[in-house]
Structures are given as C-alpha cells and as structure tokens.
Homo-oligomer: A and B are copies of this chain.
Amino acid sequence: MKKPQEFKYLSYPQAILVVGTYDREGRPNIAPVALGGMCSHRPPLLFVSLRAATLTHRNIVERQAFTVNVPSSEYIVETDYAGQVSGRDHDKFADCGLTPLRSERVDAPLILEFPTAAECRLAQTVDVGSHTMFIGEIVHLQGDAAISTADLSYLRKDLTDLPDMVQAGGFVYAVTAEGRCYVGLGEVLGRAYRLGRELRDKS
C-alpha cells in the first residue's frame, strides 16, 4: 500500500560530490553538493546544482570551470564541514587540511586527497527554480594511483582505469530512521548487465 507524502523530496541514495573552484582572487574553494552527477555520455557531461547565493555559483560563472571530486569516508567530517560554512569567510582547504592541486586543463583546483576527480569546463547553464544547474564537459579525469582499478576492458578498451569505489571508501547521503545520514557502501550484490540475463533469456 502506498501513502502520500507531503514534502516533495525523493528519498534515494545520493552521491555527495565536492565542487572545486577558484574565486576572483584565485583562492581555491570547495563545496559539497547532493544535487549532481553524470548527465550524458558523449560528450561526457556532469552537472552540479547550486543556489545563486553561494560563492561556488559565482566562481563557476566567472571562471567557466569547476572540478568534481568524489570524497572517501576518510574525509567525511571535512566534507560535512565544508557544507556548513562559506568560502567567503573561510579557507575551507586549510580548515580541512586538504591540498588544492591546480588543474592543468581547466581554471579550477582539484582536491589531492580525494580518490578521483573530474575537471570540467562549463558547457551549459540551466536555471531551475531555487538552483542553477551547471553542466560541465569532463575534459580530464584523475584517479588515485594507489587504489585498485577496475579492468572494464571486456566492455570497451578505453574503460580500464576507474577506481574501485568500495575500496576507495565511497559513501552516500541517504535518509534513514535516524535522519539524514552518510551511509557507507556495503556488500557487492552482483554484476550489472549480468544479474538480469537469465530473466532476459527466458522472456
């Protein structure tokens, strides 16, 4: 049985992505977002939604670039903190003990300590109510060389080097009975495009 819900926010496991930008003075800033992710494959496009009041919003408009960094649970406190203060009056990299790494491809900083990151040039801006969607084209990707990577060459020969998200300590943001929480990844339940084969073959 379904029952109607009043507050209109779909409950699902959301990735937290941390956006890296430079401000007018060239100071690096970070901001975590729950509204973001890949939105197209060719070209590879990634979006982040931000309110106009945020420093990151202004920085992306001015620099036409941003990075999207995937946090590991090792930096969960820092990621949570970075969403509670503004880069206008805090050096969040310093407060978090994180290292900004200048992208060689776009005008934005990467977070050295995070397991993987995409360097994006602003491709499209879509106004959507309380937020602006910044759609960036991924021009370069970096992954931590120390993390085992998945060999996906059985799929396509250029897909050989993506970091293992379980080993990297990936986590999501999700509603639980305790409230809004960060939740770690658990056990691998099966291979995508494999689990459903039997059902496909008999349908």
Q: Are A203 and B10 in contact (CB under 8 A)?
A: no
A44-B8, A152-B179, A165-B183 known; A80 vs B39 contact (CB < 8 Å)? no
Q: Are B73 and A189 in contact (CB under 8 A)?
A: yes
A70-B11, A189-B171, A195-B80 known; A145 vs B182 contact (CB < 8 Å)? no
Cα A152 to Cα B174 in complex, Å, equals 12
Most buried by B among A2, A79, A139, A180: A2
Cα A178 to Cα B8 in complex, Å, equals 36
Q: Are A156 and B7 in contact (CB under 8 A)?
A: yes
0/1 string, A16-41, CB within 8 A of B gives 1: 01000000000000000011111111
Cα A4 to Cα B6 in complex, Å, equals 45
Q: Are A196 and B70 in contact (CB under 8 A)?
A: no
- Beyond A81-B200, A152-B175, 18 additional contacts (C-beta under 8 Å) are A2-B144, A9-B44, A11-B165, A12-B37, A12-B116, A39-B47, A43-B129, A77-B199, A150-B178, A151-B179, A165-B183, A170-B174, A173-B192, A174-B185, A181-B189, A183-B186, A183-B189, A186-B187
Q: Are A8 and B141 in contact (CB under 8 A)?
A: yes
Cα A118 to Cα B4 in complex, Å, equals 10
Q: Are A148 and B177 in contact (CB under 8 A)?
A: yes
Q: Are A150 and B175 in contact (CB under 8 A)?
A: yes
> Is A63 interfacial (CB 8 A cutoff)?
no
A138 contacts which chain B residues (CB < 8 A)? 8-10
A10-B118, A39-B128, A41-B130 known; A191 vs B181 contact (CB < 8 Å)? yes
> Is A88 interfacial (CB 8 A cutoff)?
no
A10 contacts which chain B residues (CB < 8 A)? 38, 46, 68, 70, 116-118, 138, 141
In chain A, positions 80-110 with a C-beta closer than 8 Å to chain B are 80-85, 90, 95-96, 101, 110
> Is A167 interfacial (CB 8 A cutoff)?
yes
